[in-house]
Amino acid sequence: MENNQMKRYSFATLCVHGSGGADPATGAISVPIYQSSTFKFKSARHGAQLFAGEKEGYVYTRLGNPTQSALEKEMAFLEGGEAALAFASGMAAISAVVFAYCQAGDNLVSTNTLYGGTHNLFMETLPRFNIEAREVDTTNLENIINAIDDKTRLLYIETPANPTLTITDLRACAKIARDYKIPLVVDNTFPTPYFQRPLELGADVVLHSATKYIGGHGDTVAGVVVGKKDFIDELRANFLRDLGAVISPLNAWLLVRGLKTLAIRMERHQQNAMKVAKFLQFHPKIQRVWYPGLTTHPQHELAKKQMAGFGGMISFEIKGGRRAGEQLMNAVKLITLAVSLGDVDSLIEHPASMTHSTYSEEELAKCGITESLVRLSVGIEDARDLIQDLSQALRKVKV
């Protein structure tokens, strides 16, 4: 199907059929895995033209690969961007974007509740390059404005935030970014383009840890950046090429395959998460549940405005603190005690000691990541089985 025809269809249909067209070289409907490091030139002149950027084509997989290109085409299409670039990991994607915008002496403003790896990059690694990250509570827009100065080069938002599921107003952030003439970069890993479309809300760049919901099966590590073509071209030429955080053809193919079931998986993740969140909300051993789909969530109304759904991530505080949380996580039988998220399998972990162990005790407290907070990535199993597993595990918790 042509792109203009595809605009008539729902997102679920777009996931399956993509931007249209079979593999141009072979006619294969399933994208081939071009497992090659090197590509033959038609002539010496042709090789020189490829290196000079005068012709499109492939030279060496660190610079580009047909399977990678297929993934990038589909991600740009689904996010509504001009172009995309795939990386070997989500952290590689984030790092490339930051270094593309910032140099020594600059700063960025970001959400203070972030994935632990992103936080560590911002607070530990960037200062070594004389780049300052100013992490603030972006649910209060005044905090953003107060943190921006003439050296600020980008505004970085993760919403819903990992792991507290707090929501930042993307339309308002886009206006602030425009007013101060800085780009708005949004980590869209939790909701995916199925539930949230930051570019349509005014963002300049969207990125993903594609390891999570884009792949969806816990068998791939990757990152993707989507934005304007000139920015993506700069990332490819100056950062992917030189830093070498290259996605493998196999992993690119796994992500293309994952995109075909993205819509149906996200629907099931959300349906299950809502049922599990409601069960936990009224359990006597649970102190508080964080899920944007619950009316008790402080930004529930905002989530309804900027998201098409609430996703599959839940965090909750258990009575009895960390000891009780450990008892719960050790007692689950169906749910897997593991980090990462977005898999078809349900995963449970303790942010303060695991994914967010890069935060100091003071930073954890400031972000609301308590010792009693447990993060649950709800999978696509039968929700009744997940609730039964949590129920039996909670019975063993001493509070």
Q: Order the strands of the 83-87 sheet from edge to edge.
A: 83-87, 223-227, 205-209, 184-187, 152-158, 107-111, 132-136
By the 8 A CB rule, do 174 and 192 touch?
A: no
Angle formed at CA 165 by CA 251 and CA 305, multiple of 5 degrees:
100
| Active-site residue, 128 included | no
Catalytic pick from 34, 58, 115, 194? 115
Burial class of residue 38 (count of CB atoms within 10 Å of its CB; 0-12, 13-18, 19+): exposed
| Active-site residue, 395 included | no
By the 8 A CB rule, do 108 and 155 touch?
A: yes
What are the backbone dihedrals phi and psi of residue 209, each rounded to the nearest 5 degrees, phi first?
A: -85, 100
Burial class of residue 124 (count of CB atoms within 10 Å of its CB; 0-12, 13-18, 19+): exposed
User: E strand or H helix at 373, and its extent?
Assistant: strand 373-377
- Those residues whose C-beta lies under 8 Å from the C-beta of residue 247, and which sit 6 or more positions away, are 68, 71, 86, 87, 88, 222, 223
Catalytic pick from 73, 134, 197, 212? 212
| Active-site residue, 60 included | no
Burial class of residue 33 (count of CB atoms within 10 Å of its CB; 0-12, 13-18, 19+): middle
Question: What DSSP state is assigned to residue 59?
Answer: S
The reply to whether omega before 292 is within 30° of 0 (cis) is no
Residue 217 CA, distance from chain mean position: 15
Q: DSSP alpha helices (H): ranges in the chain?
A: 3-6, 11-17, 44-52, 66-79, 90-101, 116-120, 141-147, 170-179, 192-195, 229-235, 241-243, 249-260, 262-281, 300-306, 321-331, 361-367, 383-395
- Those residues whose C-beta lies under 8 Å from the C-beta of residue 310, and which sit 6 or more positions away, are 195, 270, 273, 274, 291, 292, 293, 303
Catalytic pick from 34, 101, 169, 187? 187
| Active-site residue, 187 included | yes
Annotated catalytic sites, by residue? 62, 115, 187, 212
